[in-house]
């Protein structure tokens, strides 16, 4: 696994949540996905299209963590996942991917981002259909867990 | 709403399910999304990146319909949404979007597709974060319902 490629996403999520929501997540060890399925209660998904390959990214949150971020970012906790929370998760997904895109462009990786989609539903699963390596980056916090998944098709 | 733009997606889904799974869906009237939230049990999502704009597409299925398509396409019905079903929904999403892409390219609309992501979870909701018009195309069948949503950002 290439740390050059994984770290920008990890750093970007820590940076976005730290600056926007004073929330500190503890990153776990990134790992290659082999059969595991990512679960979450609310997930931001974004398609990625590069000159040589294409892929997708997801950031999944447990409900408790999403609501705590909402409380810290906007000073209100709606008590459940509503439209304000899905908007916030879409915005976080855009910022994290955009932040990683800038860091990766400096290292010679280039891609364009589609618009985000946010999925809400208790304990849904996410399956990325790319045929390349799938990387999972887990995050923990006292308020709940998050997971980034990212993958790109094999370059033909 | 521009029928030139909507019809390729509608036709492409009918065509893919008709030829691959001998399944006939009845399309409803496409409508602009205004506050409604699309629900489904299994959804294929795909990011779209064009030269002037970007967007996203989703195809959501009720579980009963997804399992019936699985039965007709592969001759087996696993009785619940498992990895084979999510793979099939990802493949359908790819084929439908690819089919529409070919039709739209002939009309002068051009975009590239990211890789699909499939979400599974009872009655999850889908929120497209594009700032442009969101179009919903409902489909009904004796085995359950499906919904295509598509949107692109406003061209700046």
Measuring CA to CA, which residue among A73, A48, A19 is closest to residue B46? A48
Measuring CA to CA, which residue among A123, A149, A144 is closest to residue A24? A144
Please say if the pLDDT value at position B56 is more than 60.
Answer: yes
Please say if the pLDDT value at position B1 is more than 70.
Answer: no
| Span A25-48, pLDDT tens digits | 999 999 988 777 888 999 999 999
Q: Which helix (H) or strand (E) holds A83?
A: helix A83-106
Over residues B75-82, mean pLDDT: 94
The confidence score (pLDDT) of residue B79 equals: 95
CB-based contact (8 Å) between B118 and chain A? yes
List the single residue in B112, B126, B129 with the smallest CB-CB distance to A115: B129
CA distance B45 to A82: 20
> Under DSSP, is residue B38 helix (H, G, I), strand (E, B) or coil?
strand
Tally the residues of chain A: 156
The confidence score (pLDDT) of residue B117 equals: 97
% of chain B exceeding 70 in pLDDT: 99
The confidence score (pLDDT) of residue B123 equals: 93
Closest Cα in chain A, distance from residue B82 (Å)? 10
ipTM over cut 0.85: yes
Q: Which helix (H) or strand (E) holds A87?
A: helix A83-106
Q: Which two tokens stand for residue B96?
A: 């439908």
Please say if the pLDDT value at position B80 is more than 70.
Answer: yes
Q: Mean pLDDT of residues grouped by 10 in chain A (156 residues)?
A: 81 95 94 82 96 93 97 93 96 96 91 96 94 93 96 84
A116: nearest CA partner in chain B: B129
Q: Which two tokens stand for residue B64?
A: 């009963």
- Which residue bears the tokens 């409508």? B31
The confidence score (pLDDT) of residue A101 equals: 94
Contacts of B3 (CB under 8 A, 6+ apart): none
Give, as one character, the DSSP assignment of residue B76: -
The confidence score (pLDDT) of residue A24 equals: 93
Please say if the pLDDT value at position B10 is more than 90.
Answer: yes
Closest Cα in chain A, distance from residue B51 (Å)? 10
Mean pLDDT across chain B, nearest whole number? 93
The confidence score (pLDDT) of residue B115 equals: 96
Where do the H-state alpha helices sit in B2-155?
3-21, 63-74, 83-106
CA distance B91 to A129: 8
> Is A126 in Cβ contact with B124 (below 8 Å)?
no
Q: Which two tokens stand for residue B25?
A: 């869906």
The confidence score (pLDDT) of residue B85 equals: 96
CB-based contact (8 Å) between A36 and chain B? no
CB-based contact (8 Å) between B116 and chain A? yes
Distance of CA B72 to the CA centre of its chain: 19
CA distance A65 to A86: 13
Rg (CA), chain B: 15
Q: How many CB pairs under 8 A join A and B?
A: 133
Task: Give one word for A144, left, alpha or beta, with left for phi > 0 and alpha for psi -120 to 50.
Answer: left
Neighbours of A125 (CB within 10 A): 20
**Residue B35 — pLDDT band, cuts 50, 70, 90?**
confident
Number of H helices, E strands in chain A: 3, 8
Furthest-apart CA atoms within chain A: distance in Å = 48
Q: Which helix (H) or strand (E) holds A68?
A: helix A63-74
- A45 and B45 in contact (C-beta within 8 Å)? yes
Q: Which two tokens stand for residue A18?
A: 């730290």
- How far lies B70's CA from each of A143, B1, B19, B121, in Å? 39, 33, 13, 17
**Residue B44 — pLDDT band, cuts 50, 70, 90?**
very high
The confidence score (pLDDT) of residue B33 equals: 80
B36: nearest CA partner in chain A: A83
Neighbours of A24 (CB within 10 A): 11
The confidence score (pLDDT) of residue B15 equals: 95
CA distance A21 to A121: 23
Please say if the pLDDT value at position B156 is more than 80.
Answer: no
């Amino acid at each position: 696994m290439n740390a050059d490629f994984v770290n920008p996403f990890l750093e970007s999520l820590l940076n976005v949540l730290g600056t926007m929501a004073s929330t500190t997540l503890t990153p776990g060890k990134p790992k290659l996905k082999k059969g595991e399925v990512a679960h979450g209660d609310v997930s931001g998904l974004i398609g990625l299209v590069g000159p040589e390959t294409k892929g997708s990214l997801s950031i999944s949150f447990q409900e408790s963590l999403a609501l705590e971020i909402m409380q810290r970012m906007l000073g209100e906790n709606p008590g459940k996942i509503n439209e304000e929370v899905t908007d916030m998760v879409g915005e976080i997904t855009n910022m994290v991917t955009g932040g990683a895109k800038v860091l990766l462009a400096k290292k010679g990786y280039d891609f364009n981002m589609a618009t985000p989609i946010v999925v809400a539903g208790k304990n849904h699963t996410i399956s990325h259909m790319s045929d390349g390596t799938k990387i999972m980056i887990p995050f923990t916090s006292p308020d709940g867990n998050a997971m980034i998944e990212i993958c790109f098709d094999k370059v033909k």
